[in-house]
């Protein structure tokens, strides 16, 4: 699973580390990332509060081979999703915003999570408002913004981790 946000410092970085703490294989990247940067101190603090390890993180830019190699791409928002699908059109059917994917997971009947099952739910659900798909970027803000962001991410990842 690949998480993508703009700079690969907050949202996707926290998602990667939270997913790993739940036993999910995860990587992250950013559409406009400067490679090699550390995540902000607030992100590290929030990850530690939630039992995830922020150690050794370094930002990287998303590239087509990374997208093509991912079985699932979850983006922080619509702009990042559009960027990923433009960069690697073959990934369109497995690229979702994180919040969108969370809505689909919540609507799935019991059973394994597959792209086919997600597709069936996607076709049945009423589309939300476009802004419902964007995860607010906490960069530069107070630690509470990072906590809110991490809470949203973790809720969706716990739902995913609880499925077979």
Convert the pLDDT of each residue in 28-67 to its tens digit: 999 999 999 999 999 999 999 999 999 999 999 999 999 9
Quote the number of domains for the chain.
1
Convert the pLDDT of each residue in 83-107 to its tens digit: 999 999 999 999 999 999 999 999 9
**pLDDT band (50, 70, 90) for residue 16:** very high
Q: Are 95 and 71 in contact (CB under 8 A)?
A: no
| Closest by Cα among 3, 10, 4 to 136 | 10
Convert the pLDDT of each residue in 118-141 to its tens digit: 999 988 887 778 788 999 999 999
76: domain CATH number is: 3.40.50.2300
Q: How far is 150 from 76, CA to CA, in rounded Å?
A: 12
The boundaries of the domain holding residue 84 are 2-161
Q: What is the DSSP track for 129-142?
A: -GGGGPPPP-TTS-
Q: Are 137 and 75 in contact (CB under 8 A)?
A: no
pTM beyond cutoff 0.75: yes
């Amino acid at each position: 699973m690949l998480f993508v946000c703009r700079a690969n410092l907050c949202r996707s970085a926290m998602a990667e580390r939270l997913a790993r703490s739940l036993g999910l294989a995860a990587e992250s990247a950013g559409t406009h990332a400067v490679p090699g940067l550390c995540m902000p101190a607030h992100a590290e603090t929030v990850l530690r509060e939630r039992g995830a390890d922020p150690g050794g993180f370094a930002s990287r830019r998303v590239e087509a081979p990374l997208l093509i190699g991912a079985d699932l791409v979850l983006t922080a928002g619509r702009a990042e999703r559009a960027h990923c699908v433009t960069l690697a059109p073959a990934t369109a059917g497995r690229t979702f915003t994180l919040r969108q994917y969370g809505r689909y997971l919540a609507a799935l009947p019991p059973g394994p999570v597959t792209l086919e099952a997600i597709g069936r739910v996607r076709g049945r659900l009423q589309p939300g408002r476009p802004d419902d798909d964007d995860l607010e970027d906490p960069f530069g803000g107070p630690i509470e913004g990072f906590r809110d962001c991490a809470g949203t991410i973790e809720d969706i990842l716990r739902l995913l981790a609880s499925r077979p």
